[in-house]
Amino acid sequence: MTACMENRKETVRSKLLTSRRPTTIATWNVRTMYAGGKAAVIAEEMKRYGISLLGLGETRWLQSGQVKLASGETILYSGHPEDSAPHTEGVAFMLSKEAQRALISWEPINSRIITAKFQTTHKKINLQVIQCYAPTNDTDDETKDQFYNQLYTILQDRKGKDIIILMGDMNAKIGGNNNGFEPFDIYRLMRQANSNEWSGYQPHSNVLWIHYLSDKLCSMKFRRSAGMRKIKAALTRFHNGVLQYTFATDLLNNCPMFQS
């Protein structure tokens, strides 16, 4: 089954996100779903942990489409488009019945990215979830550039106050080598967004970049709720205290916010 853009505007929807109860959204690199009974096992685990929406990585399914399981869950999947392609990569969402009713639309981007949009209790705010399976560092540069450019385009296309959740297996690597991650380098993005006034800050040694970023966050408009007010108050205290430290290492080692 193939699909480009699936919409369900005709369905009477429930709300996936509500302030009345918690909603559990998770991601899992399943290694493969290209094996008999694997989807059913994943669905059982999803129910056991009370997960409403589960993002799946490395499913190894080909093409794109949706499958309804006997247990009631729905799988939206995206893989290599060719029938003859190897069973590698692949991403998917497994939706509970609640998530299915809240689903507005979904889009299979490629074998590494799939997106889905859900209705929340706020009429003007939707939830967009992006599930990724990023290339590893030893992947060729063309593949890495294509992945991050596509992901950057999706993130830039955010509508109004929509909530975005980016999740999945980003194949992160510990260390200072950022090869392949250039499009998402915070130094590069903030420099472009602020007419090069960011260029004098050195993220690895200087706390000014943290102060600059926290200032940007403090100036954002937060949704009104007791929880968000507490978050903004804590962020403001952090912002006001950052300049007490000279180096980023001093901040991490001595700031009370980073102490367990």
156 and 211 both lie in a single domain:
no
Q: What gap in Å lies between CA 79 and CA 65, rounded to an integer?
A: 9
- Structural domains in the chain (count): 2
23 and 134 both lie in a single domain:
yes
168 and 216 both lie in a single domain:
no
Are the beta carbons of 150 and 183 closer than 8 angstroms?
Answer: no
- Its domain, for residue 131, covers 1-176
8 and 103 both lie in a single domain:
yes
Per-residue confidence (pLDDT) for residue 199, from 0 to 100: 46
CA torsion angle 82 85 87 89 (round to 10):
-70
User: Where residue 165 sits, what CATH number does that domain have?
Assistant: 3.60.10.10
Last residue in a domain, options 142, 176, 210? 176
102 and 61 both lie in a single domain:
yes
19 and 77 both lie in a single domain:
yes
41 and 167 both lie in a single domain:
yes
User: Where residue 247 sits, what CATH number does that domain have?
Assistant: 1.10.510.10
156 and 207 both lie in a single domain:
no
157 and 95 both lie in a single domain:
yes
Per-residue confidence (pLDDT) for residue 251, from 0 to 100: 66
Per-residue confidence (pLDDT) for residue 225, from 0 to 100: 65
123 and 166 both lie in a single domain:
yes
pTM of the shown model: 0.67
pLDDT tens for the chain, 260 residues long, are: 444 455 554 445 677 877 678 899 999 999 999 999 999 999 999 999 999 999 999 999 999 999 999 999 999 999 999 999 999 999 999 999 999 999 999 999 999 999 999 999 988 899 999 999 999 888 888 898 889 889 888 988 888 889 999 999 988 665 555 554 444 454 444 444 444 444 444 444 455 556 556 666 666 665 566 667 777 777 777 777 766 766 666 666 777 766 65
Last residue in a domain, options 153, 176, 199? 176
Residue spans of alpha helices (H) in the chain: 38-48, 97-102, 141-156, 186-193, 208-218, 226-241, 248-254
162 and 218 both lie in a single domain:
no
Element spanning 169, H or E: strand 163-169
Per-residue confidence (pLDDT) for residue 97, from 0 to 100: 95
169 and 194 both lie in a single domain:
no
Burial 215-249 (b: 16+ CB within 10 A, else e): eeeeeeeeeeeeeeeeeeeebeebbeebeebeebe
Are the beta carbons of 11 and 40 closer than 8 angstroms?
Answer: no
* The token pair that represents 112 in the structure block: 């590494």
Last residue in a domain, options 122, 154, 176? 176
Per-residue confidence (pLDDT) for residue 24, from 0 to 100: 95
